[in-house]
Amino acid sequence: MKLSIIIPVYKTQDTLDRCLQSVLQQSFTNYEIILVDDESPDECPKLCDEYAQKNERIQVFHKKNGGLSDARNFGIRQAKAEYITFIDSDDAIAPNTLQHVMEELAAYPQVDILEYPILERVGNKHKEHLLTFAPKEYQSPIDYWFAERTYLHTYACNKVFKRILFEKILFPQGKTFEDVLTIPKLIGIVPFHNNEYVKPIIRITDKGRYLYYWNSNSITAKAKSYDFQCLYEGHNRTLFYVFEKIEYNKDLIIKYQYPIQEFIVQILNMLIYIYELSGKYEDNPPIIHYVKKLDNVVRIKDFKLRLLNLLGYHKLCRLNKLIHQIYRHH
């Protein structure tokens, strides 16, 4: 068996069939489906059992509710194949996706992580977006992080991983936006323990497609202050280790000056939004320190970062909140 497909299931009785049919209708069939029922209170447990009775490739595990990370980790422990991939039970994959990605891995057996295209926010006509890639291979996590702007798509779902990676790394329990805390470890940009890193070979492809459906009830759509705090925690930790690697490499900073600024702005936006939701400031956020370091090497061109330098963090937060209040009023 080549591929273990892990599908956590919780409160998705209306989308589970769509998800499973998208897998069962694939041309590639050398896989096992691991359905992890996370004590779903709807009809999902019954639906999972019915599917397993009809198809021998489907295994169902019913467990006490522990959240998405716990369900994925449970599925990882049951997986038997060489490769693992994740599909959320309110999402799907396009026809022939598994054939495409597994052929790619057969052609490049040295690859540890394969990322394939994702159609984001399917069903929301104003926000739907296809993220695709020009085929390329990376051995440097810094190059992958900035050349591909990976900080904008730290998804676990549109990737295939060698199962051996999860012998050292699992998803963090009790956290939302768990992918942001996990993917940097899996690609080797953040240590998984103390100062220990994995060193994967990463490949991106333009073949296959993950279908990430817009869900107005999801964590992403209804994120609160704590959720953004988890998101900030993950990206802020990654930024720390990024600067640890590039701080004294002027050529690398110059090469990636624009995506570095974009990444920092992404983190700054999280802090500003946390302030809007909670009214609380982060005490002396590290990004201020990193912006100053960056400014010593290249000219800061991003407008929001220049405002940060000019006004300071607290004033920028208050200004942003005021602008949003005026905008909403009008």
User: Where do the domains of the chain lie?
Assistant: 3-213, 225-329
pLDDT digits (tens, 9 = 90+) for 254-291: 999 999 999 999 999 999 999 988 888 888 899 999 99
pLDDT at residue 221 tops 70: no
pLDDT digits (tens, 9 = 90+) for 6-31: 999 999 999 999 999 999 999 999 99
| pLDDT above 70 coverage of the chain, percent | 97
Query: Which pLDDT band holds residue 321 (cuts at 50, 70, 90)?
Result: confident
State pTM to two decimals. Answer: 0.94
pLDDT at residue 217 tops 90: no
pLDDT digits (tens, 9 = 90+) for 289-313: 999 999 999 999 999 999 999 999 9
pLDDT at residue 220 tops 70: no
Q: Which fold has domain 3-213?
A: Spore Coat Polysaccharide Biosynthesis Protein SpsA; Chain A (3.90.550)
| pLDDT above 90 coverage of the chain, percent | 85
Residue range 186-210: average pLDDT? 97
Residue range 154-166: average pLDDT? 97
Three-state SS sequence of the chain: CCEEEEEEECCCCCCHHHHHHHHHCCCCCCEEEEEEECCCCCCHHHHHHHHHHHCCCEEEEECCCCCHHHHHHHHHHHCCCCEEEECCCCCEECCCHHHHHHHHHHHCCCCCEEECCEEEEECCCCCCEEECCCCEEECCHHHHHHHCCHHHCCCCCCEEEEHHHHHCCCCCCCCCCHHHHHHHHHCCCCCCECCECCCCCEEECCCCCEEEECCCCCCCCCCCHHHHHHHHHHHHHHHHHHHHHHCCCHHHHHHCHHHHHHHHHHHHHHHHHHHHHHCCCCCCCHHHHHHHHHHCCCCCCCHHHHHHHHHCHHHHHHHHHHHHHHHHHC
Residue range 218-247: average pLDDT? 87
